[in-house]
Chain A
Amino acid sequence: MATYTGQSLRRTEDERLLLGNGNFTDDIVLPGTLHAAFLRSDRAHARIVSIDASAGLAIPGVVAVMTAADLGDVPNKTMIVKRDGMQEDKMIPHPILATDRVRYVGEPIAIVVAEERYLAFDALEYIVVEYDPLPAVVDPRQAMKDEVILHEDIGTNVVMKVLEGEGDIEEAFGKADHVVGHRYDDPRISAFPMEPRATLASYSPEEKRLTVWTSSQVPHQIKRYLAPMLGLEPDQVRAIAPDVGGGFGRKIELWSDEVALSVLSMKLGRPVKWTEDRRENLLSTHGRAFTSDVEAAINNDGTILGMRFRMIADLGAYFYTSTGGPLSNAAHRVAGPYGIPVMDIEVLGVFTNGPPTGPYRGAGGPEAALLTERIIDVAAGVIGMDPAEVRRRNFISADAFPYKTATGYTYDSGDYQRAFDRALELSEHDGWREAQRKRGPNEPLLGIGVAAAVKASGGSARTRNARADVYVEPSGAVKITTEASPHGQGTETTFAQIAADALGVPYESITILHSDSDMLESGHGTTSSRGLAVAGSAMYEALIQTRAKAAAIAGHILGCAADDVVFEDGKVYSASDPEQAMAFSELASAAYRPEKLPEGLEAGLDTKVSFTLDSNPFGFGAHVAVVEVDRDTGDVKLIRYTAVHDCGILINPMVVEGQIHGGLVQGISQALYEAMYYSPDGQPLTASLMNYAVPIAEELPTLVTDSLETPSPTNAMGIKGVGELPTVGSPPAVANAIMDALAGMGVDNLDTPITPERVWRAMQAAR
């Protein structure tokens, strides 16, 4: 019986964090710690002629300066895996430290360690790097011309190609009433975690063991990748992600920085610590970075016959493990919630002189939705139909699931029409349309934008498996070890809610342990909206098995059948004879005493589970944005935002709402504010908060949200996952609202971020 599931319990994590008692990597103090600072390239593309660190080393208190030459047996490359669309001979990994060439501003060249952090920074100024500059290329379309080549040995910058689709697109275009097309740029943006990256590496020469505390979403992967690089056995490395202040996909790597710090700690036999500053973070890695052409064939009745996508992804200068991930994701995800029969997709991946890119909240989903959702609005304009109506006419219907898209996905369940209609109603969509018609020429322009989005949870088959341990102590306290590695998701709260209900015990008796590779031997962390869907499902399976064993023991003691045993309110009793009862703690204690057990049952109440989620659940989001545009300046004000999500069964509605708010704001910010700008020669123009814009609270309206719960048949709890979902539909909803406001002026295309000057220029040009 669900006592806790479905309740908006306050997050157990919050009190500690809000009172400043969090324990982030930078808070961890070990005796004898050395402090590191990185010397990073200030050139976008250059040969390194020489590095002279002698003056830096001469500063008292500076302990070591390491360059690539000092790596010894450690291979000078990070680990990468082959993904869809990658070619074996073109998989150039990111080096640990640059050797004879740098390929982006921010690329690590040397690392200084000193007794004090200040000294390490001082020493950076005394390391002299002589560069021989090379021409740089930052625009992926320019890079495709191969006039400037980043890695000569592979002879081209075009290193990935993903093809996807179904049906004959030429035929669809030929028979359609209209074909519309546009190019949309989706620039580099920062994941912008509140806590930048931070690592403390500590090697114990006595124990021959390296412990790495790091601000990561994937501690087990850190261990798995790091050990072989350092020539260690897996059990010689322990990776711990303490409190982590946000990741958003850009902390799912073993970064070269982490490797370098580990190497140094092993060399010096002392802990080495590094906390990135905001500038380093802004220059380390980015998300999105697509530029795409999209065409759609539509009939006058609103039926979409087919779409063609030609997408180009800027990979940056090297591969990290996740760098190529968004490409195939985007290829699958362009289908959105629509039953479009014909799809033709090509995604190319291109090296440029920028930092490596990779999945950022949504991981190809927002890149895809921006195209599908924006072109639908253009098509709606051409046939003169309300964009909301065009979407309603093309939604996959509620009775069509499981539904196979023309892009190779199988959607599990949903009721898109109902959730979308709820969003229209909640946002007073029709009322705003009326208000729009009544706007006077001296009032700001009013625009209404809708978008709909589907997002898979759980990741690829490679990561759709998880470990979980449940251990009921003889006292009745329950300790659960999950491979999820939370960094803001409220996992300690929601997992405890599930566990308390499964065992019928008080919520307070549950402890959720996580984020330490010594607790579980493997895991995939919290990425790809997999926390609840995969790691949570694994825990649920372990709980069911635990309960089954506990029921067998209880039945034996209470003299009833195991399936007659009820777990409730910290008690265990026979359903048919409730007088036959015992406290859960008594049962737990009995479970460890062989004389109390039925024949053949081993003592103990602990369960280890390896679980596989066979297929992905797919969540849905419907968005309505209302904006005002200042006719004089082009400034956009978001005045109302409504979103209705279906992420399956809600464990904790408040936690879900928190995830939705965060995701919406990141998407809104992508539409209106964010871009990492580079000069044509590869110098960053937005490397601080003076120039890189993120919104503040007063720039956002109240977010109106609601949920619809269609249970997913893919897992026992019926959940779908919510982490990335809200970020997928929000950028196009805002973009569509702005385009709607400008439609009367004949403005037909603006790239995100839709800045005031871009709007103003478009209005000027249209006048």
Chain B
Amino acid sequence: MIPAAFEYHAPATLKEATALMRRFGDDAKVLAGGQSLIPMMKLRLADVPHLIDLRRVSGLAYIKEQDGGLAIGAMTTYHELEASSLVRRYAPFIVEAIDLIADVQVRNKGTIGGSAAHADPAADLPALLVALEARINTTGGARARHIAADRFFVDAYTTAMGPSEVISEITLPALPLRTGTSYRKFANKASHFAVVGAAAVVTLGADGLCERVRLGITGAGPKAARSKRAERYLEGKAPTQENFQTAARKAGHGIEFLEDIHGSAEYRRHLTSVFAARALAEAVQRVAD
């Protein structure tokens, strides 16, 4: 549990940070909360000759309203999100999901940017980011980019970011009126990461039908992704248990299910439909509340 030797850099600005990234290329990684990176270095699963600490860079931790939605600085911690009334008002499932991530100590350190950049297939927030159609704003590449969440997550531990890019901000668009949200997770008994997590964002129309449905799934496959078949099926239909179940059965479509000691592919497929149905039902329930 002792990392290999590394060089530590503590830039004061994002510009300096990205300059260091360009200079050291593959030999460099940025450090945010360190809750994934440090354990990997200690287990010598990650060899990082140059560690560029973003914690001295000012102006990367904030939560503000923007165009009816939210703009969140990459270095905002789980705890800051959890404690924010803006976040709670915008979409309560963010607070609920964070409450299911690790423990207080980890949440005091871990960041939204780190969770997104790390792209752990079992991480919780990515499911919400795809369901909310978040944008991941990066800097340090040829130009600043605003990457849609469902294009950002490419594969296990792999994102659409280039080698010198850094996440600066994540924006969450405005949600229509009469929208409910829910995140339901089946936790791995050892790590408590998601074996399967389902994030639902459902808007009911004036006619009482499901008007807009977004469903993000994490844990089941190599990356967090939207279940577009399930979404399409439910849109325009009545919010009934039966419709949720049918939609949920389509939620696994296109997922290459993972398999490990915490769940076979078959079990993950089953859990995906169970938890999708539970999240959809709860999201709808919350519109009414």
Report if A689-B270 is in contact (Cβ < 8 Å); known contacts: A118-B2, A677-B261.
no
Residues in chain B near residue A277, CB distance under 8 A: 1
Residues in chain B near residue A673, CB distance under 8 A: 189-190
B233 contacts the other chain (Cβ, under 8 Å)?
Answer: no
Contact of A690 among B5, B190, B264, B271 (CB under 8 A): B190
B46 contacts the other chain (Cβ, under 8 Å)?
Answer: no
B5 touches A689 (CB 8 A): no
Contact of B261 among A122, A632, A691 (CB under 8 A): A691
For A755, give the chain B residue with the smallest CB separation.
B189
Contact of B267 among A118, A122, A693, A760 (CB under 8 A): A760
B191 contacts the other chain (Cβ, under 8 Å)?
Answer: yes
B1 touches A757 (CB 8 A): no
Report if A122-B190 is in contact (Cβ < 8 Å); known contacts: A686-B261, A760-B267.
no
Contacting A at CB under 8 A, from B1-50, are 1-2, 4-5, 43-44
A588 to chain B, nearest CB (A): 51
For A694, give the chain B residue with the smallest CB separation.
B190
B259 to chain A, nearest CB (A): 11
B81 contacts the other chain (Cβ, under 8 Å)?
Answer: no
* A282–B44 CA distance with the chains assembled, in angstroms: 18
Report if A689-B267 is in contact (Cβ < 8 Å); known contacts: A118-B2, A278-B1, A279-B1.
no
* A694–B4 CA distance with the chains assembled, in angstroms: 29
| Cβ proximity bits A98-135 to B, threshold 8 Å, 1 near / 0 not | 00000000000000000001100110010000000000
Contacting B at CB under 8 A, from A53-73, are none
Report if A633-B186 is in contact (Cβ < 8 Å); known contacts: A757-B263, A757-B264.
yes
B274 touches A632 (CB 8 A): yes
B267 touches A691 (CB 8 A): no
* A693–B260 CA distance with the chains assembled, in angstroms: 14
B190 touches A635 (CB 8 A): no
Residues in chain B near residue A691, CB distance under 8 A: 190-191, 260-262
B267 touches A117 (CB 8 A): no
* A689–B106 CA distance with the chains assembled, in angstroms: 15
* A691–B5 CA distance with the chains assembled, in angstroms: 27
A121 touches B264 (CB 8 A): no
* A691–B189 CA distance with the chains assembled, in angstroms: 8
A395 contacts the other chain (Cβ, under 8 Å)?
Answer: no
Majority secondary structure, B binding face: loop
A633 touches B261 (CB 8 A): no
A692 touches B1 (CB 8 A): no
A302 to chain B, nearest CB (A): 37
* A673–B267 CA distance with the chains assembled, in angstroms: 17
* A43–B27 CA distance with the chains assembled, in angstroms: 30
* A689–B263 CA distance with the chains assembled, in angstroms: 16
Report if A689-B261 is in contact (Cβ < 8 Å); known contacts: A118-B2, A633-B271.
no
Contact of A635 among B186, B191, B260, B270 (CB under 8 A): B186
For B4, give the chain A residue with the smallest CB separation.
A122
Residues in chain A near residue B274, CB distance under 8 A: 632-633
Report if A122-B191 is in contact (Cβ < 8 Å); known contacts: A635-B186, A760-B270.
no
* A690–B189 CA distance with the chains assembled, in angstroms: 9
Residues in chain B near residue A677, CB distance under 8 A: 261
* A677–B262 CA distance with the chains assembled, in angstroms: 11
Residues in chain B near residue A122, CB distance under 8 A: 4-5
A-B pairs under 8 A by CB, number: 52
B2 touches A692 (CB 8 A): no
For A699, give the chain B residue with the smallest CB separation.
B189
* A696–B267 CA distance with the chains assembled, in angstroms: 24
Residues in chain A near residue B271, CB distance under 8 A: 633
Contacting A at CB under 8 A, from B245-289, are 260-264, 267, 270-271, 274
Contacting A at CB under 8 A, from B192-207, are 192-193
Majority secondary structure, A binding face: loop
B224 to chain A, nearest CB (A): 19
A2 contacts the other chain (Cβ, under 8 Å)?
Answer: no
Contacting B at CB under 8 A, from A621-661, are 632-633, 635
Contacting B at CB under 8 A, from A743-761, are 755-757, 760-761
Residues in chain A near residue B261, CB distance under 8 A: 677, 685-686, 691
Residues in chain B near residue A118, CB distance under 8 A: 2, 5
Contacting A at CB under 8 A, from B174-219, are 186, 188-193
For B192, give the chain A residue with the smallest CB separation.
A696
A121 touches B2 (CB 8 A): yes
* A686–B260 CA distance with the chains assembled, in angstroms: 11
For A764, give the chain B residue with the smallest CB separation.
B270
* A685–B262 CA distance with the chains assembled, in angstroms: 11
| Cβ proximity bits A659-685 to B, threshold 8 Å, 1 near / 0 not | 000000000000011000100000001
* A141–B43 CA distance with the chains assembled, in angstroms: 34
A236 to chain B, nearest CB (A): 33
Q: Which of B44, B188, B189, B192 has the most CB of A within 10 A?
A: B189
* A688–B45 CA distance with the chains assembled, in angstroms: 13
* A109–B191 CA distance with the chains assembled, in angstroms: 31
For B263, give the chain A residue with the smallest CB separation.
A757
For A685, give the chain B residue with the smallest CB separation.
B261
* A693–B187 CA distance with the chains assembled, in angstroms: 11
A18 to chain B, nearest CB (A): 18
A689 touches B264 (CB 8 A): no
Residues in chain A near residue B192, CB distance under 8 A: 696
Contact of B2 among A117, A688, A755 (CB under 8 A): A117
For A280, give the chain B residue with the smallest CB separation.
B1
* A672–B260 CA distance with the chains assembled, in angstroms: 18
* A755–B261 CA distance with the chains assembled, in angstroms: 10
For A120, give the chain B residue with the smallest CB separation.
B2
A690 touches B191 (CB 8 A): yes
Residues in chain B near residue A278, CB distance under 8 A: 1
Residues in chain B near residue A125, CB distance under 8 A: 4, 44
Contacting A at CB under 8 A, from B75-122, are none
Contact of B190 among A632, A692, A756 (CB under 8 A): A692
B188 to chain A, nearest CB (A): 8
Residues in chain B near residue A755, CB distance under 8 A: 189
* A121–B1 CA distance with the chains assembled, in angstroms: 9
Residues in chain A near residue B190, CB distance under 8 A: 673, 686, 689-694
B267 touches A757 (CB 8 A): yes
* A677–B261 CA distance with the chains assembled, in angstroms: 8
* A685–B191 CA distance with the chains assembled, in angstroms: 14
Residues in chain B near residue A279, CB distance under 8 A: 1, 43
For B186, give the chain A residue with the smallest CB separation.
A633
A734 to chain B, nearest CB (A): 14
| Cβ proximity bits B154-181 to A, threshold 8 Å, 1 near / 0 not | 0000000000000000000000000000
Report if A693-B189 is in contact (Cβ < 8 Å); known contacts: A677-B261, A686-B261.
yes
* A757–B188 CA distance with the chains assembled, in angstroms: 11
Residues in chain A near residue B188, CB distance under 8 A: 693
Residues in chain B near residue A760, CB distance under 8 A: 267, 270
* A609–B264 CA distance with the chains assembled, in angstroms: 60
For A757, give the chain B residue with the smallest CB separation.
B267
* A760–B266 CA distance with the chains assembled, in angstroms: 11
Residues in chain A near residue B270, CB distance under 8 A: 633, 760
* A531–B37 CA distance with the chains assembled, in angstroms: 44
A114 to chain B, nearest CB (A): 11
For A675, give the chain B residue with the smallest CB separation.
B261
* A757–B271 CA distance with the chains assembled, in angstroms: 10
* A519–B24 CA distance with the chains assembled, in angstroms: 59
- In addition to A633-B274, A689-B190, 15 A-B residue pairs with Cβ atoms within 8 Å of each other are A117-B2, A118-B5, A122-B4, A125-B44, A278-B1, A632-B274, A633-B271, A672-B189, A685-B261, A691-B262, A693-B188, A694-B190, A696-B192, A755-B189, A757-B267
Question: Could you list 28 examples of A-B contacts with CB < 8 Å?
Answer: A117-B2, A118-B2, A122-B4, A122-B5, A125-B4, A125-B44, A277-B1, A279-B1, A279-B43, A633-B270, A633-B274, A635-B186, A673-B189, A677-B261, A686-B190, A686-B261, A688-B43, A689-B190, A690-B191, A691-B190, A691-B191, A693-B188, A693-B189, A755-B189, A757-B262, A757-B263, A757-B267, A761-B267
Going nearest first, the 6 A-B pairs with the smallest beta carbon separation are A693-B190, A693-B189, A121-B2, A277-B1, A690-B191, A757-B267
Binding site for A on B (CB under 8 A): 1-2, 4-5, 43-44, 186, 188-193, 260-264, 267, 270-271, 274
